[in-house]
Each structure stands twice: as C-alpha cells, then as structure tokens.
Structure 1
C-alpha cells in the first residue's frame, strides 16, 4: 500500500478507543511509514490529507492495528 497522486483534499478524524497509546502514520509514495501523531487512550485529532493517501495506525511495538483510505468527505477512523 502506498500513496497515489491526484486526489482531492479531505480530512480524517482519528480516534483512539484503545487503552494504550497508538501511533498514526501516513504511507508515502514508496509505501514507507511517515509518523504524524501519537495518541493516548481516548485522544483524537483531525488530519488533513488527500484521497489516495493511505494511513496506518500501530501500537508502540509497530504492529499495525488498522489501515484507513481517505474518502472525499470527512470520515472518523476509530482504532479499537
């Protein structure tokens, strides 16, 4: 999975519903993880992004918990 170009601007509202910290990464043009934010339990934030730019959320050990593909309208990305 990697980012592709040409998508329109949008937002993803990331929500950490877990009892542990999670790390939010954007997957770049080569599929590499680029860290954007660490969320504590119950924390959330809004991320500007583009359609075609995937995101992955991991635990502190780097294990993927969820992947999200942005859509043209703002969506919530709840990590459970």
Structure 2
C-alpha cells in the first residue's frame, strides 16, 4: 500500500477564507460571532467555544459609531 500526501500549496488568505466560509454556510450565528473558528468551533463539532452575542459581531468602526450616534441622539430627544 502506498502513502499519499496531499499538500495544500495555496496562499494563507485562501485557507483562511475556506475556514470563514465553513462558518458562513453552516452556522446560523455567523453574524453575531466574533471568533469564526471554522471546523474547530464547538457548534461545528470542534473543541473551541465561540464568542457569540450582541456587540460581538465583526462590524466596521464607522458603522458602530453611527449606531452609537443614533442612540445618543434619540436619548437627547426624549428629555
């Protein structure tokens, strides 16, 4: 019997993208997760526990600041 070695010669960004796609396609909490471990995630059968919750999602700084600005403006109008 011969041993076959499969080498993954792709760039690192492609391998990282594959990991994120596993999360994107198979996990319903993808938008709220900040870990995105891929196959290593506890929800997908791995060992690592993901950080999931409100405020943990990966959003840009501008979007987060815009949300805070809207909340602060609405508080000022209520007084």
TM-score by length of 1: 0.22
Which structure's relative contact order is higher, taking Cα pairs within 8 Å and 6+ residues apart? 1
TM-score after normalising by structure 2: 0.22
More strand by share: 1
